[in-house]
Amino acid sequence: MRDNEVTKMVERRAGGSDPDDIILILQTRNQLYIDMVIAALENEGIPVLLKSVTGYHWRGMLPFDQGFFDYRLYVRSQDDDRAGQIVEIIVPREEIR
């Protein structure tokens, strides 16, 4: 793994009349990189809220021991086309202090 990289970006149907979720999964060893991603989204007018930090892997949400936390960032905007977007950022556990 490089220090900062986009590992996955997928679209999935939110269900009902909700728009598709946009899921961007970033993998990083640098807390500053997370802050930069959040700042970049906010600079584009996309407010970001840290929704949860879990000790589960994003693949199927199964418990794991590989040293990563799953950061789920729910992105909301006034614009309908941006509502419901989700950004997931996965960070090595040793960076959580």
Question: pLDDT (tens digit, 9 = 90+) per residue, 17-33?
Answer: 344 445 455 555 555 66
User: What's the whole-number mean pLDDT along residues 63-89?
Assistant: 45
Number of domains in the chain: 1
Ranking 31-35, 62-66, 75-79, 87-91 by mean pLDDT, the lowest is 62-66
Residue ranges making up the domain that contains 8: 4-95
Residues 16-55 as b/e (b if ≥16 CB within 10 A, e otherwise) read eeeeebbbbbbbbeeeebbeebbeebeeeebebeeeeeee
70-85: average pLDDT: 44
User: pLDDT at position 40, please?
Assistant: 77
